[in-house]
Chains A and B, each alone.
Chain A
Amino acid sequence: MRLLEASKVSLAFRGVRALVDIDLWIDNGELLGIIGPNGSGKSTLFNVLSGIYRADRGSIHFNGERIEGLGPAQVVRRGIARTFQNKRLFGTMTVLENVTVAALKGRGGSALGDVFALRRSRNAIRAAKDIAEECLDRVRLADWSNALAKDLPYGAQNRLEIARALALEPRLLLLDEPAAGLNPAERSELQELIRGVHRQGVTIALVEHDVRMVTGLCPRVVVLDHGEKIADGASTSVVTSPHVLAAYFGGEELEEDARDAV
């Protein structure tokens, strides 16, 4: 069953075509890789899917409902969560608070209820904190709960982004270059984390530069170039297809990477 289906999505910035007639579908339970060189439109696509940008044309269905034109807060309520490539954490808040904000999504009670400590509100906050702690545990950040997010080492900030997105209990998780800046040990740890989340039934779309990681994780890969989709298929065949290699990296480096990966 299709969880997400975008058709003919286009977006231009002052005449520069960022996305051109993109057709993208993601099945329930899939782990889809999205690759492409810098500026190919990967992050722009995520920004459109998560409601940050509004597409000029095209439609996006999620779970049978049209979501194009909704803002980020509405999109995430429908079950699409994301991480940011350039780490958009709440720097002056603690690690636990960062995740608790997200875990409060859709819970009962209200700010007024919190002020007067009404039971419904107290329960909601306790539940959110429990979820937040669980998520921090999953990304091995439980020991850092009370540290400020801005004081975390880089790799840990990465994991906090993921914990915050998990706390939203999404059906579809958009990971925007989660491995950027990580060392090899952290990378393989991240792969395990992504696999684990996927096994628990979360559909994932992964934008990543590291082709080896994408082919290792994702059975299907979509390739973007200059805002257009130039390939879509089984990862093993897509990254070795001469068409993609030529249009994409100019050849050599990817070829080696891909051969190793296959």
Chain B
Amino acid sequence: MRGAPARWLVLGTALAALLAIPSVAPQYVVHVANFVLIYTLPVIGLGFLTGFTGRVSLAQGALFGAGAYTTALLATKFGWAPLATFVPSILFTVVLAVALGGPAVRLAGLYFVMATIGIQQIVWIVLMNWIELTNGPQGVRSIPPIGLGGHALETPQQFYYLALAMALLSYGLAKRVVASRLGLFLRALSDDQLAASSVAVEVGRAKVTALALSAAWAGAGGFLYAHYVRFIHPDMFGLEPSVLFLVMSMFGGYRSIEGMIVATAVLESATEYLRPFGEFRMIVYGLLLLLGMMFFPRGILTLVPRRSAPSPAHGKA
């Protein structure tokens, strides 16, 4: 009985703190917070695939880029209102992911990783070389800000609440997905694929659905990103963000959406709080990762004790 109110108190305080950030924190902190909020989307998305089906993908950065480029090009070359491109950005990213990655999800372990590196490369090469459409190495400039009710969200403070709303929405939806039968099927097939198909789980379909969901979250994140930074370039969507998203989604906690969010915040803001280390800060960052993985292989959120499942030994179950 004691647990539930305490939980709400913590959640309420956290929400109040999040809402207060733009009015109390310096602009630079708000700026970093915006990136954290934006990145939670592709990271949570990757969690569906990596955390729940055990498939490690290094293409999430490219899918993030696909979403960003879709909205950027629709807005700059075809004059769409930014908000109108939200759904198309997600849809295009999902179609791309399923078309390129669908046949690959049946591959096991390292072979799937290699296939996703291939996808990553294909997307980058297309962005770089299909110059008539993407501007190639010039990137896409002057991406308009998102307008909400006649107000353009231009400053970090203005953008913050949209990013927060999207991050909270994506968190809530992700929790529902994980609790749905799809979540159950994915966990089952990552434990034992043969047993899963023997209890009538359509293994292939479940895996493609996980891939599509991870792409949807990446596409939505890319949408936000493009209208926040307002200039995008193919190099922003290379292997580096893919690796970063992967680390963030694994570092937080095994199959824990909250853990992924905490990890995104800890790692994305690391360059700020590691500033005292000066030129050594990237070394410290690397050490942080190394030690984190060595001592908390199931994620840093294992530091927080979970409600343990009752077992017969502890009375009624």
Contact = CB atoms under 8 A, between A and B. Distances in A.
Which range holds the interface residue count of chain B? 20 to 34
A25 interface: no
A106 B200 contact: yes
Contact of B317 (A76, A88, A101, A146): A146
A100 B180 CA distance: 12
Interface string B281-317: 0000000000000000000000000000111100001
Nearest to B190: A92
B255 to A, nearest CB: 8
Given A73-B201, A105-B200, A115-B177, A90 B194 contact: no
Contacts of B176: 114-117
B198 interface: yes
A12 interface: no
A102 interface: yes
Contacts of A148: 309
A122 B174 CA distance: 18
Contacts of A104: 181, 184
Interface string A43-65: 00000001010000000000000
Contacts of B168: none
A76 B181 contact: no
Interface in B169-211: 173, 176-177, 179-182, 184-185, 187-188, 191-192, 194-203, 209
Contacts of A112: 180
Q: Do most interface residues of chain B lie in helix, strand or loop, or is the interface mixed?
A: helix
Interface string A88-126: 111111100110111011100111101111000100010
Given A114-B182, A146-B310, A84 B200 contact: no
Contact of A93 (B187, B201, B310, B317): B187
A71 interface: yes
Contacts of B196: 90, 101
Contact of B191 (A82, A91, A110, A125): A91
B188 A94 contact: no
A92 B184 contact: no
Contacts of A115: 173, 176-177, 180
A223 to B, nearest CB: 26
A102 B199 contact: yes
Given A50-B198, A82-B198, A143 B317 contact: yes
A89 B180 contact: no
B311 A147 contact: yes
Nearest to B198: A72
A84 B187 contact: no
Contacts of A109: 181
Contacts of A91: 191-192
6 contacts: A76-B198, A88-B195, A111-B180, A114-B179, A114-B181, A143-B312
Interface of B: 173, 176-177, 179-182, 184-185, 187-188, 191-192, 194-203, 209, 309-312, 317
Interface of A: 50, 52, 71-73, 76-77, 81-82, 84, 88-94, 97-98, 100-102, 104-106, 109-112, 114-117, 121, 125, 142-148, 151, 164, 167-168
